[in-house]
Amino acid sequence: MCGRMTLTATEPLLLAEVFALADPPAEPPRPRFNIAPTQDVLVVTADLPRRLTAMRWGLVPSWAKDARIGASMINARSETVAEKPAFRAAFKRRRCLVAVDGWYEWKVVDDGKEPWRFRHPDGLPFALAGLYESWTDPAGSILRSCSVLTTTPNAFAAAVHDRMPVLLPREAFDLWLAPSELSPSDAARLFAPCPDAWITAERANARVGNPRNDDPGVLRA
């Protein structure tokens, strides 16, 4: 699974270039070193003009009775996303890009688990394949939330964990964001693990396990 994420590369012109935004953000987003489930992430949807929008990480289906269900919906397995009741409607019509520049996984070792941060070799942001939904609470307030799709790992990531996020190349953005169903062949192509050369990894600090620790010190052991 993908359980924590980062977005530290927040220069507006860079974000506009990487995510094909209509305009750079007016202000740089606050750098995030330890984004945890139920916290906000920045996403891009099919809405025009394209821009970064904050959504809660942990998808709350439109039919949910309680928003707390989102804490268990942070990831959607690409192999089953088209059939799972919580995700299938969003997969058909409400796909998004989740803006990050890294994610954490925990490697099982003899004396427990150790955190590793995966990132682009040049520190650039990634577009993760995501889904989103809108949920209305009993008082009429609308919550927009999202989930990150995962797939089998490439050879590099497999040394740490048996899952990894689906990373999308820029040329796939329009297809992924289009509010129409993906063909099985397109889905299979997009859900393939990214090339090993797209990522590198570093041992992270154990402090990352506490979501209150959102500072540069958690990035490395």
> Buried b vs exposed e over 34-57: b needs ≥16 C-beta within 10 Å?
bbbbebbbbbbbbeeebbbbebbb
Residue 39: strand pairing partners:
none
Q: Is 2 a catalytic residue?
A: yes
Query: Which among 69, 66, 70, 65 has a CA at the least distance from the CA of 55?
Result: 70
Q: Is 146 a catalytic residue?
A: no
**Cα gap 154→156, rounded to integer Å:** 6
| DSSP-derived 3-state class of residue 13 | helix
CB 205 within 8 A of CB 219: yes
Q: Per the residue annotation, which of 105, 133, 146, 194 is the catalytic one?
A: 105
Question: Please, what sign has the CA dihedral across residues 163, 175, 171, 144?
Answer: negative
Structure-block tokens of residue 25: 């953000």
Active-site amino acid positions = 2, 105
